[in-house]
Chain A
């Protein structure tokens, strides 16, 4: 479904990603782990079109999307839950969710998806008219995920969805991700919480200093002792 071929990203003269190749099959849940500053967020932003790649190519179902602006990438069914949530904090929860379904392909079924999102996160139901910035961190993360679901994506990019959440909520979050994946949406999960991410992923990539240093199924990666020690904290 999504294929990254040797992509490179640079901020000025600093290289953030170099020769990164990655593949996500339709309906697959793939995770990317790696230390802070490895380029994980850059990778998500590059796929979403928020930063330009300077080398390589990105293909979605065989079509080159590497040079498309972000709003056209969204139109093709890729939605994201960005690092730090990045809700529109001055706008209400309802407005955030409705804007999630702004793209023309998602607008028709917006009402129905709104009900689904509220059913998935009942806590949000009572806060729909509150400014998103007044919610707790966990609730904001629910809005961020809900907003991405409202776009009815075929591929969901999740950048550190568990960051800064209380442990009990983290568990909920991973269950939600598993449910989303089970409904047929392909997921790219970028996580610091390696143990949990590997539990639900079918394949994983390890990113370090802007390069992929290992890839495989969770079992394969765990069995390679130097990788397990260096990156997985096992």
Chain B
């Protein structure tokens, strides 16, 4: 049995990785649940964001957090453009999965071409610093990731719940033609939402670059667990990825501390199966 300090530290690191799950899951969940687009390229976009952070900050000398000011708007436009293409060619949910898989491969190749397949690590003041609280260490990059995940998830939740814009988006997601009949410009709102989801990938990318070593092949390492997070959290529910991400992150970390790292994926997918079974019973 590991010491309480090790369990405690793994709870902390689980929370921080859970926050990154939430950041990666939010955009995917929104575009899947509200736009019926399964955007597999979300992961590749996040890595593109991470590499851009590496370039602007590690090579260009910008503060990594300031890169958000460039990356978030650029990714927003990318998402808007992607949605325009999807509408223009009437791409359905399955089509979007295939098209964005293709896009993933393209982005991976571009990353490999520009930054090579070698492992890269952004050296930043945030990446190496940590706060000491009692016997525990809180990495600053993790705290930043957690703050960003909580702010984006709660912010999105509040906008969808309390503003006309957000309610119109929810209405459009449930019955688009009816929303249009009551004055909602469904296409414009969908573009906005797609842009926001894509900007979330950019934010997740910055967070990735702060804490993780980057390699193009890593794009695929996140897909399984993030899909589990998105499904457990509920499609299109902005608080879902935060809750599910933290639960999975913490349970994985504790499992790793108690047994062996190889058991971690078993936890997330067992949780997924349990949640799906419980939900099926409620229907």
Where the two chains meet, the residues of A that have a C-beta atom closer than 8 Å to any C-beta of B are 48-50, 69-71, 73-75, 79-80, 82, 86, 88-91, 95, 98-100, 102-104, 106-107, 147, 151
Asked if B178 and A71 make an inter-chain contact with CB atoms under 8 angstroms apart, the answer reads: no
The distance in angstroms between the C-alpha atoms of A88 and B174, with both chains bound, is 6
The distance in angstroms between the C-alpha atoms of A75 and B175, with both chains bound, is 18
Measured between beta carbons, the chain B residues less than 8 angstroms from A80 are: 181
Q: Which of B174, B175, B179, B183 has the most CB of A within 10 A?
A: B183
Where the two chains meet, the residues of B that have a C-beta atom closer than 8 Å to any C-beta of A are 164, 167-168, 170-171, 174-175, 177-186
Asked if A82 and B181 make an inter-chain contact with CB atoms under 8 angstroms apart, the answer reads: yes
The distance in angstroms between the C-alpha atoms of A104 and B183, with both chains bound, is 8
A71 is contacted by which of B164, B175, B186 (Cβ under 8 Å)?
A: B186
Asked if B183 and A102 make an inter-chain contact with CB atoms under 8 angstroms apart, the answer reads: yes
**Inter-chain contact count A-B, CB under 8 Å?**
71
Asked if A99 and B181 make an inter-chain contact with CB atoms under 8 angstroms apart, the answer reads: no
The distance in angstroms between the C-alpha atoms of A205 and B38, with both chains bound, is 46
The distance in angstroms between the C-alpha atoms of A206 and B92, with both chains bound, is 39
Measured between beta carbons, the chain B residues less than 8 angstroms from A89 are: 174
The distance in angstroms between the C-alpha atoms of A102 and B168, with both chains bound, is 8
Least Cβ–Cβ distance between A47 and chain B, in angstroms: 10
Least Cβ–Cβ distance between A130 and chain B, in angstroms: 16
A-B residue pairs, 9 tightest by C-beta? A103-B183, A70-B180, A74-B183, A88-B171, A88-B174, A86-B178, A71-B180, A102-B183, A70-B181
Least Cβ–Cβ distance between B171 and chain A, in angstroms: 5
A-B contact pairs, 11 of them (CB 8 A): A70-B181, A71-B183, A71-B185, A86-B178, A88-B170, A91-B170, A99-B168, A99-B182, A102-B168, A102-B182, A102-B183
